[in-house]
Structure 1
Amino acid sequence: MYEILIILVLLLLGGYFYWQNHIHKVTSYTVSLPKDYASLKDKKIVFISDTHFRKNISHFLIDRVLLEIEKVNPEVILFGGDIVHEVSHDQVIEHTKDFFSQLSKIAPTYVVYGNHDLKSDRKKEMTDTLKRVGVTLLDNESVWLTFEDSDIGIHLIGLSEEMSSISMKQDALSQINLSNEHKKGLKILLAHYPQFIEKYRKDETKIPDLILSGDTHGGQVILPFVGGLYVPGQGFNPYYDFGIFTNETYPSSRLIISRGLGNSSFPLRINNRPEIVMIKFI
């Protein structure tokens, strides 16, 4: 009798951990815009991050993620860094090519690198792969996005910096040049590290309307009524773990942190399923 109970418990635990690590969820946010940006109403952005591709990946998860994004039918797909965890195997580059080639067929796709990407000894190969499949890598720069049925566009800014360098900067966007031709436009920042948010808002002329970050994996373990357990660079019980953050000083500037799709060095997610973020402007 006890043996049967133990087997049942183990099966339930196995099913729970599989669900937590291989069955994604979609988190939807609506972002209200000022009247000046009314023509961007109903535009949809998909934001994903932290796939941490290894030699062996869950093709079941990746296939479901691609199907979900295709179903959303976004105008733009944004990726917040840490494509790879290790690139000692050629399969990791192949995973990168396969995944991002599919994304770019769904919608224009823009990427920033995270710390794992930047320290990779095959970064150039990864960069060439992204370019070859039609993905735009934002390396400390801004691009101007337009839509056929909108009279206003988006300044999409992408930071690609090591944690050690960005933490030393008072103004993280000092090197970013926004197009003088387009004085007016929604500003969206892709930046891997959410904890440096105040440095992203240092220049009042460049304060992003929306900041999209990853890196945290939601704290890897989410405790009820507490939040994420631990994030490197923030420690235990981190403030910036996942979700949407607002600030009274900057009421029109919002931060959204993705819990990511993959795992870093710790191999399990607990109470913290892989996440696709869907943002709709209203």
Structure 2
Amino acid sequence: MLQPVRIRNKDPEGRMPLAEHLRELRNRLAKAVLAILVVTAGAAFFYKEVIDFLTRPVLESVGCPTSFAELAAQPANTTCAHITINGLLAPFTLALKVSLVAGVVLASPVWLYQLWAFVAPGLHKRERKYAYAFVGTGVPLFLGGAFFAYQVLPRTARVLIGLTPHGVNNLLPLDELLDLVTRMVVVFGLAFEMPLLLVMLNLTGVLSGRRMLGRWRAMVVGITVFSAVATPSTDPLTMLALAAPIWALYFAAVAVSLLGDRRKALGERRV
């Protein structure tokens, strides 16, 4: 005798069992990784242009003159760096590394959306409308942080190269330069995502705006320490140039969270 098929009622709030939750995590990760790989493969065809774009500001700030006229016009005590590359496999490694970084940055709309889509089922139905706002805000913040690092790097490079003793040639390997550039671009981009993470924690009820405001001193100190570690230069102006916008973004996230908590409290009182 055939057994009747049981129809599973769907949870109106989107909750799911642990097995389905893990399956959802696997699917979201697979989509994010696939997007990064596809963009990385496309960027591999233009890796030379990407390398030129990433290193041009630094090379213009610290590179040695290439002509006699430029060399004659340069002050005698000016230090510079000669760009080098060593090893047979070094060009291939550089191409792979640069393409992967480009894939992570350019595919950020996809993996940011997948991150939010995984968290969204834990929210109430009315709160899921913030999905597009999350992606729409997260991508500009990440790209803004990356662009900020791109602008700060030439000043940092001039300070570091300026420590070279006079009369000593500074040989700067291209792979080390790219490591520095890509690390700062990614670190700055992720640092600018911090306020968005705080707002997301506030929406899920994990962290209240009042609690964030009460920890502002510790956050300011933590951001300052992070900026000192993230910037390779010992120049305090470069450190403050990174810390100041993150401070502003943190207090903006606190303000948004406080307004959200107040709106939730008023809604509960009406109910």
What is the TM-score when the length of structure 1 is the normalising length? 0.24
Q: Which of 1 and 2 has higher RCO (CA within 8 Å, sep 6+)?
A: 1
Q: Which has the larger radius of gyration?
A: 2
| Structure with the higher fraction of residues in strand conformation | 1
Larger helix percent: 2
